[in-house]
Amino acid sequence: MSQLHMMVTITSRNLTRKFLDFYTDLGLEVAFLSLGKGTASSEILDYFGLDGSEKTLIFHVVTDEKWKEIKRELRRKINIDIPGIGIAFLVPLSSIGGTKALNFLKSGQNFVKGEESELKDTKYELLITISNQGYSDLIMDAARKVHAAGGTVIHARGTGSHLAEKFMGVTIVPEKEMVFIVVRKDQKNAIMRSIMDEAGVGTEAGAICFSLPVTDTAGMRLMDEIDEE
């Protein structure tokens, strides 16, 4: 069995194309990009050879075996261990909403699906929905129908549109919105189902969604109290 992960790469904005070309050469054509800005203290920035300039966050879905290859090639071809180049890390995926979305996100990687992975004793999960731009309200309305709380919207840009047409039968536009919603684990499936029914593949929103395990939270006490009533 294979494990799927969300691979996050953070690098300077002027190195974005270099990383994208590198990942494409390794067969990772599906990516989602968002812009950010470094906030670390000057001492930390100096230690890692970084600066406070604008950053790019690049998101890919990868398997265990693919990560081993990527990690090796990041060191060999990108020299990622040199301060200032960037960092890459993994977060385990616990579920993906639908087979078509899975085939699109894994971008040709070999993957044998087993049981949904989960960390023990986790109460919440981070549900991430990626859709065409302008449909975040529709997604939140669908989530709230099954008692989801508020979400956070991040503007992003996607790659791999030809693969979307191959696996999902639709043409997608590059401009994307990523909606982050922290949900109770026992509510996750109902919320994902509602989003996919209202805004999933085959709709104008063209949304795909997946979840990441959350090991601990702060600021969720009100939600806990509502659920206990």
At 119, which CATH number? 3.30.70.120
Mean pLDDT of 71-85: 90
Residues 133, 39 share a domain: no
Higher pLDDT, 190 or 41: 190
**What share of the chain has pLDDT > 90, as a percent?**
35
What integer pLDDT is reported at residue 214 of this predicted model? 82
pLDDT at residue 40 is higher than 60: no
Closest among 218, 195, 116 to 148, alpha carbons compared: 195
Residues 100, 24 share a domain: no
Q: CA 186, CA 184: separation in Å to the nearest integer?
A: 5
How many Cβ atoms are within 10 Å of 227's Cβ, its own excluded?
12
Number of domains in the chain: 2
Residues 183, 132 share a domain: yes
Query: In this predicted model, what pLDDT tens digit does every residue of 103-121 receive, in sequence order?
Result: 888 888 888 765 555 545 6
Per-residue 3-state assignment (H helix, E strand, C coil) for 135-157? CHHHHHHHHHCCCCCCCEEEEEE
Q: CA 85, CA 103: separation in Å to the nearest integer?
A: 31
Per-residue CA distances from 172 to 39, 166, 220 (Å): 33, 11, 35
Closest among 155, 159, 196 to 176, alpha carbons compared: 155
Q: CA 36, CA 56: separation in Å to the nearest integer?
A: 6
Total length of the chain: 229
Residues 210, 102 share a domain: yes
Cite the DSSP H helix spans in 157-208.
161-168, 188-199
Using the 3D structure, point to which of 92, 108, 138 is the last residue of a domain: 92
Residues 214, 144 share a domain: yes
Residues 106, 203 share a domain: yes
Residues 220, 153 share a domain: yes
Residues 197, 103 share a domain: yes
What integer pLDDT is reported at residue 135 of this predicted model? 94
pLDDT at residue 218 is higher than 70: no
The whole domain housing 199 covers 96-228
Residues 111, 66 share a domain: no
Using the 3D structure, point to which of 73, 92, 111 is the last residue of a domain: 92
- Where does the pLDDT of residue 17 fall: very low under 50, low under 70, confident under 90, or very high at 90 and above? very high
pTM: predicted TM-score of the whole model, two decimal places: 0.73
Residues 43, 29 share a domain: yes
What integer pLDDT is reported at residue 30 of this predicted model? 87
- Where does the pLDDT of residue 221 fall: very low under 50, low under 70, confident under 90, or very high at 90 and above? low
pLDDT at residue 227 is higher than 60: no
What integer pLDDT is reported at residue 198 of this predicted model? 95
Quick check: 32 and 156 in contact, CB under 8 A? yes
Q: State residue 84 phi and psi, 5-degree precision.
A: 100, -15
What integer pLDDT is reported at residue 66 of this predicted model? 93
Q: CA 154, CA 131: separation in Å to the nearest integer?
A: 11
What integer pLDDT is reported at residue 152 of this predicted model? 84
Q: CA 17, CA 167: separation in Å to the nearest integer?
A: 25
Q: Residue 72 carries which DSSP code? A: H
Residues 115, 49 share a domain: no
Query: In this predicted model, what pLDDT tens digit does every residue of 47-60 receive, in sequence order?
Result: 555 555 688 889 99
Using the 3D structure, point to which of 60, 76, 92 is the last residue of a domain: 92
What integer pLDDT is reported at residue 229 of this predicted model? 52
- Where does the pLDDT of residue 38 fall: very low under 50, low under 70, confident under 90, or very high at 90 and above? low
Residues 56, 8 share a domain: yes
Query: In this predicted model, what pLDDT tens digit does every residue of 138-184 receive, in sequence order?
Result: 999 999 999 887 788 888 888 876 776 665 655 556 788 999 998 88
